[in-house]
């Protein structure tokens, strides 16, 4: 199986691994985006991405100094560099070399700038969400820019790893870059809910963390059979057959009553 994750806005470039490093495979496309972004002023980036002035200034500098050659002097492995809620759930800083080797074959990270990343692909600091309406020669947004390229690469990875299952743990924004009609594999989407009073609801922060927890569960146990994922029970989650369908699974977080 191959697990799909979203990237994170926050980054931590203090973590490093010397072994198994790889190059992003769609750098020619990345270079095209950098040429567009590096010409934009901080103010234009602020308006384009709906970000603060400080973040816009930071990313203006990033894009103008971006190097198409990625090495350990300017880059870090994607799975260690991303530092959002998903990656805190994954506990990426504690991944062993064996973990990273398994993840390299079975985890993929969707990216507005890099398209599709393997965990050990080197990345430079950036901010470019997949939903950004960036005009380019292929269209008016990043979905048009990437077209079917991400799906084609994912299909190649499915074939190389002799896999026929994609486990979607990405957000809707990022998963929308996948063309489900041309995807050569079974698709399983996993979501997480919990009770708020009597209502079963989606809480973004907890769900993001749970996506990382499930990914870590798959990596630690080197799972290849999708039914084994149902054994995930970390942080009070359990598989809910009642709320799940064949291709959309729900894990429900158990409620702990408050005692006097």
Assigned token pair, 184: 């050569």
Q: Which residues have a Cβ under 8 Å from the Cβ of 27 and sit 6 or more positions away?
A: 68, 70, 114
Share the mean pLDDT of the chain.
94
Give the three-class secondary structure for 256: coil
pLDDT of amino acid 48? 96
| Tokens read off for 13 | 């470039």
- pLDDT, one tens digit per residue, over 139-186 is 999 999 999 999 999 999 999 999 999 999 999 999 999 999 999 999
Is residue 258 over pLDDT 70? no
pLDDT in tens, 185-216: 999 999 999 988 778 899 888 999 999 999 99
DSSP code string of 194-230: EEETTEEE--HHHHHHHHHHHHHHHHHHT--SGGGGG
Mean pLDDT to the nearest integer, 233-259: 87
Burial of 50 (0-12, 13-18, 19+ CB in 10 A): exposed
What is the dihedral angle through the alpha carbons of 181, 165, 163, 101, rounded to the nearest 10 degrees?
120
- Considering just the CA atoms, what is the radius of gyration of the chain in Å? 19
Helices (H) and strands (E) in the chain, counts: 10, 10
């Amino acid at each position: 199986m191959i697990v799909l994750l979203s990237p994170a806005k926050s980054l931590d470039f203090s973590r490093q691994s010397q072994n198994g490093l790889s190059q992003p495979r769609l750098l020619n496309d990345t270079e095209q985006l950098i040429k567009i972004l590096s010409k934009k002023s901080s103010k234009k980036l602020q308006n384009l991405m709906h970000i603060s002035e400080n973040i816009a200034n930071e990313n203006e500098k990033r894009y103008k100094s971006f190097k198409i050659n990625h090495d350990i002097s300017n880059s870090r492995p994607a799975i260690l560099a991303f530092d959002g809620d998903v990656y805190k759930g994954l506990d990426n800083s504690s991944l062993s070399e064996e973990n990273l080797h398994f993840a390299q074959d079975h985890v993929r990270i969707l990216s507005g700038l890099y398209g599709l990343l393997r965990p050990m692909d080197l990345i430079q600091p950036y901010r470019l969400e997949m939903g950004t309406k960036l005009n380019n020669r292929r269209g008016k947004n990043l979905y048009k820019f990437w077209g079917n390229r991400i799906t084609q690469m994912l299909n190649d990875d499915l074939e190389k790893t002799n896999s026929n299952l994609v486990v979607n743990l990405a957000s809707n924004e990022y998963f929308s870059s996948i063309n489900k009609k041309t995807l050569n594999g079974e698709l399983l989407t996993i979501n997480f809910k919990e009770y708020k009073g009597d209502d079963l609801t989606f809480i973004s922060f907890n769900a993001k963390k749970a996506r990382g927890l499930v990914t870590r569960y798959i990596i630690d146990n080197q799972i290849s059979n999708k039914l084994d994922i149902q054994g995930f029970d970390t942080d009070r989650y359990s598989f809910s057959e009642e709320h799940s369908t064949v291709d959309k699974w729900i894990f429900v977080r158990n409620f702990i009553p408050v005692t006097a």
